Amino acid sequence: MASTETGATSESLPQDPTNDLQSTIHGKARLGDKVFRNLSTGSGTLILVILAAVATFLVGLSIPALTADPEELQYGAFWAYALPFAFGTVWASFLSMLFAVPVAIGIALFISHYAPRRLAQGLGYVIDLLAAVPSVVFGLWGINTLAPLVRPLYVWLADNFGDLPVLGWFFAGPVSGTGRTILTAAMVLAVMVLPIITAISREVFLQTPRLHEEASLALGATRWEMIRQAVLPFGTPGVVSACMLGLGRALGETMAIAMVLSPASVISFELLTPSNPNTIAGNIALAFPEAFGLGVNQLIATGLVLFVITLAVNMTARWILASRKEFSGAN
Amino acid sequence: MKLRLTAALGLSAALLLSACAANEGTTDTDAAATGGSSEAMSGLEGTLSGKGASSMNSAQTTWIAKFQEANPGVTVNYSPDGSGAGREAFMGGGVDFAGSDRAFTPEENVAGASALCAEGAYAYDLPVYVSPIAIIFNVEGVSELNLTPEVLAGIFAGEITNWNDEAIAATNEGVELPDLTITPVHRSDDSGTTENFTDYMHVTAGDVWTYEADGEWPMDSGEAAKGTSGVVAAVTNGVGTIGYADASQAGELSVVKVGQDGNFFGPTAEDAANAVANSPVEEGREEHDLAIALDRGAEGYGIVLVSYALACSEYADSANTDLVKAYLGYIASEDGQNDAAETAGSAPLADSLREQVQAAIDSIA
Amino acid sequence: MTATTMPTTTDNQLTAGQLPRFSAIAMLVVVVAVVAGVMALFGTPAIGAVVIVSVLVFLAAMYALSWAVEGSRRAADRTAGHVVTGFFVLALLPLVSLVFSTVAKGLERFDVQFFTYSMRNVIGEGGGAIHAIWGTIIVTGLATLISVPIGLFTAIYLVEYAGSNKLAAAIRLFVDVMTGIPSIVAGLFAYTVFSLILGPGTNSGLSGAIALTVLMIPTVVRSAEEMLRLVPNELREASYALGVPKWLTIAKVVLPTALAGLVTGVVLAIARVMGETAPLLVTAGITASMNINPFADPMATLPVFVYYQYMTPGVPQDPFYARAWAGALVLILIVMGLNAIGRFIAWKFAPKTGR
């Protein structure tokens, strides 16, 4: 590395004598540049290869289940089996993002713009710690601490809102006897994705150009107005990708859901009952150990469905974001 | 950057930890890996790998520890990935033996089905682990309950919904039953425990329980929790809950006695072993294939889980045959069964069945 | 609890009325008391319900008060401050609860034996997790060694080289898709691949590392891309203007500038996969004995160790649960240590910015 370094800088910017019409300056191809470019491109391509391998694996092992006669399948006809799980996955992730996104952005703002500067570093560290907690421990915490704690609240919600129109769709009873409903699971998921969204959002907010912020404040903006005018617009793309990362984890989280949720094979918006739609990943964890023969293929096919859901969600997000590229520093 | 990070991590870890465990002799793992010299009295050495039912994991842990103590040159690994995974790996030939909560069906167990077994050989289903399944409940002020199979099934089917129901009171004179909603808790994961429990209700409860035996809970109502420990936690933390779990894990929870006509049995090791011993071996099996046709109504505690060790009648690769025989032989011995009963809470096999299992293991080639 | 973090930059008594500094705390106390009192009239309320209603009433009351005294802009500013602070406290609650229960239950077996013994030939009490600690370090280390270079270079490609060509668009999309691979599917993938290569049913540390790599790469790429993108173009242009080649600009200007963020991203990615249980259950498996060879035989890892100690305990259960919690505590401490190292590196080598 050191040898190419000196060689490269000494012969910088040679003029191209053959091009007399345009005054374009061409850099001579340097070894370091070539290696770096190829390494980078290669890595990017490698990722596509890995993903292609995963996709091949998923599709290849799904086909036997998708084409088999429903009679032979361990869990019955495929779509009837997979649909409640697909719904549950989206529903649980949606709920968890509903909790996590505002809270995460709030925390990131608190650390970047509200907390005393000396404290901020430490606070960021504390939140990052949540990422360190293994999913099993989240599961145990969900069962033993959170669920009994929120159950009285659920009873209260069901008593007060269960009979109302619209709200009744979500808060109807009977309330689960153990409190391990999809709402609890979504809370656990939210806590799990918090550190991911917070950490990235925080870094992005901290990168807001100082001048933008000072300009806003100098014009008499309050702190909140400054954040809305300078920090949030600058950070939006970063926050959205942070949310995508968090959503990815929420969609795919396995063990915590498997341990916390009291699942059933239903499609239901009710948040407080013991019969909750299971998620695809959670169901795989629950059923895989005893799956045998075509059952394994059937479970992997549900994994493929999850894969497609993730693809759809991400493409939608990209489409929404497409118009907002101008905030990026590098473009 | 990341190199520094990893280097720093590795360095600090290396300073803190030594790469060998204080309780592991210097020879055993090395000897196991290389097949080198070892002062094992038995002369056995090598690595044996098994995979399968998590229900018998704590028993396997005990068996492995005792067996390795007696044979320091041997390392046995048991991966409690689940019965299905165990049978799958057994078929594929990735393990030396498997554990399963159900026996191979006669259709599955045909000669040549497993890559592990020699040509023309089939699999032995060896019942080695019997565990009573306790019906646990958590109702304040109630510590004892007697239930008939019909009432039990009615509770789990959601037809009996309150603890002060007359059907429950009928068999529990003198017990003060509160006015409290019953929350039945079942396993959310596919499990042999559920399969045995649903089979029990299917056979004994008549019209009340119309579902077939199934490893997955057949209904959408009721509370569900993952694994034995999940059910125990849900029953413990819930209100008015009732569930089913391995008797050894019931802990402090109150346990239901089931039976008919004033003849109620609790999930004791003895009553469970009797129920198994009073059940016949399935008809139409090859010799030494000891799949048990459980008679749920037999004298004793009928809600039992029987887990099998799966082995080949003849191994394709004979390298580990002696190890498999020695290990399974120990498991099926009186010592092995008693060791598991002590530390895993299982029910030791009755002598008659144990001798049949031993005979099968002796015939492995 | 919120008053200490109230804005101080807007102290300007010349132009507007201002609430005294203690007003927020006073309001909070009053609101909680009133709400609890009112709700008690309708029967014993759940604590959670009281808290939720109190917070809503507090925000509304504070906004109204501030609006009346200080004007609408100040009122909005105040409310935003309260909400943001409230969210932070809200996030601390589960954290404190989690850490507290882990530490309280984990300390029981946090002893020398835990760090020097494996579980080989251990029945019931005693034993340790040295084999699982090593397994976690090896498996996660391998996953890090594979995924960080790939992830970092991909991010460099996306930000510095590709611009908006089709390959880059595809990579971005599929990296996002990869974040959605459920951890257990990643495990099954690695398990299947290794089954094809090494024969069915085999477990090894390396297959665990591959499974974790699949999970780790997208996290690394996404966070690294975000961080590189935030490096101001002026820096790159200044570097080019001085005749510095592109790769050196990246290596010496872009990467160091983004260093703090990159390290945070990598540490987060490691932290995330280190606690993964499901993929390691099927790939690395479990063993009671020490195995430091990632290429053969099952390798115990801390999350799997914790999982099985908790899920399939023997009789009595207590020593198993104690080991499980101690294992969880060790795992958290390892990630904390990593985090600290990461922060130290970021602090030591990153160029000083205005903050």
CATH number of the domain residue B173 falls in: 3.40.190.10
For residues B152 and B234, state if they share a domain: yes
For residues C89 and C207, state if they share a domain: no
For residues C139 and C276, state if they share a domain: yes
For residues C28 and C174, state if they share a domain: no
- HSE-CB for A200 with a 13 A CA cutoff: 32
Residue B46 per-residue DSSP state = E
Task: Chain C: list its partners (3+ Cβ pairs within 8 Å).
Answer: A, B
For residues B218 and B146, state if they share a domain: yes
What pLDDT was estimated at residue B308? 93
What pLDDT was estimated at residue B135? 94
Residue B349 per-residue DSSP state = P
C110-138 pLDDT, tens digit each: 888 888 888 888 888 888 899 999 999 99
What pLDDT was estimated at residue C3? 46
Distance from CA of C251 to the nearest CA of B (A): 11
Burial class (CB in 10 A: 0-12, 13-18, 19+), A198: buried
Tell which C residues from 30 to 89 touch A, by Cβ distance under 8 Å.
45-49, 52, 73-74, 76-77, 79-81, 83-88
The domain that holds C328 is classified in CATH as 1.10.3720.10
Instruction: Give chain B's count of helices (H) and strands (E).
Output: 12, 11
Beta bridge partners of B117: B315
Each residue's pLDDT expressed in tens, for chain A with a length of 331 residues: 333 333 333 333 344 444 444 444 555 667 888 888 899 999 999 999 998 998 898 899 899 888 888 777 878 888 888 899 999 999 999 999 999 999 999 989 998 888 887 888 788 777 777 776 778 888 888 888 888 888 888 888 888 888 888 888 888 878 888 888 999 999 999 998 888 889 888 888 888 888 888 898 899 888 889 988 888 888 888 888 788 878 888 888 888 898 899 888 888 888 888 888 999 989 988 888 888 888 888 988 998 898 888 888 877 777 777 655 544 443 3
Instruction: Write out chain B residues lying below 8 Å of A257, CB-based.
Output: none
B53-112 pLDDT, tens digit each: 988 888 998 999 999 989 888 889 898 888 888 888 888 888 899 999 989 888 888 887
What pLDDT was estimated at residue B19? 64
Domain boundary among C56, C86, C105: C105
What pLDDT was estimated at residue B17? 60
Task: Chain A: list its partners (3+ Cβ pairs within 8 Å).
Answer: B, C
Between B32-41, B124-133, B183-192, C320-329, the lowest mean confidence (pLDDT) is in B32-41
For residues B151 and B235, state if they share a domain: yes
- Please name the member of A143, A287, A289 whose beta carbon is closest to the beta carbon of B81: A289
For residues B269 and B291, state if they share a domain: no
B31-60 pLDDT, tens digit each: 333 333 334 456 788 888 899 898 888 899
What pLDDT was estimated at residue A5? 39
| B1 falls within a domain | no
Where does chain B have alpha helices with state H? 2-16, 28-34, 57-70, 83-92, 149-157, 166-170, 192-204, 227-237, 269-277, 321-332, 334-344, 351-362
Rounded CA separation C109/A249 (Å): 31
| C265 falls within a domain | yes
For residues B109 and B27, state if they share a domain: yes
**Chain C contact for A169, CB < 8 A?**
no
Instruction: Write out chain B residues lying below 8 Å of A177, CB-based.
Output: 181, 183, 185, 223, 238-241
Rounded CA separation B243/B197 (Å): 11
| C165 falls within a domain | yes
Q: How many structural domains comprise chain C?
A: 2
Q: Do A241 and C222 touch (CB under 8 A)?
A: yes
| C301 falls within a domain | yes
Distance from CA of A259 to the nearest CA of B (A): 5
| C11 falls within a domain | no
| B2 falls within a domain | no
What pLDDT was estimated at residue C14? 53
Distance from CA of A194 to the nearest CA of B (A): 24
What pLDDT was estimated at residue B8? 53
Q: Which residue of A has its CA nearest to B180?
A: A177
Of the pLDDT bands very low, low, confident and very high (cuts 50, 70, 90), residue C163 is confident
Q: Do A222 and C156 touch (CB under 8 A)?
A: no
Q: Do B92 and C200 touch (CB under 8 A)?
A: yes
What pLDDT was estimated at residue A187? 93
Q: Tell me what the mean pLDDT of segment C260-265 comes to.
A: 84
For residues B219 and B330, state if they share a domain: no
**Chain C contact for A25, CB < 8 A?**
no
For residues C66 and C175, state if they share a domain: no
Residue B229: name the closest of C306, C278, A92 by CA.
C306
Residue to substitute from C111, C117, C315, interface B, most B β-carbons within 10 A: C315
> Does residue B275 register a pLDDT over 60?
yes
Residue numbers of the domain that contains C34: 19-105
Residue numbers of the domain that contains B60: 7-131+280-297+306-363
Q: How many structural domains comprise chain B?
A: 2
For residues B158 and B95, state if they share a domain: no
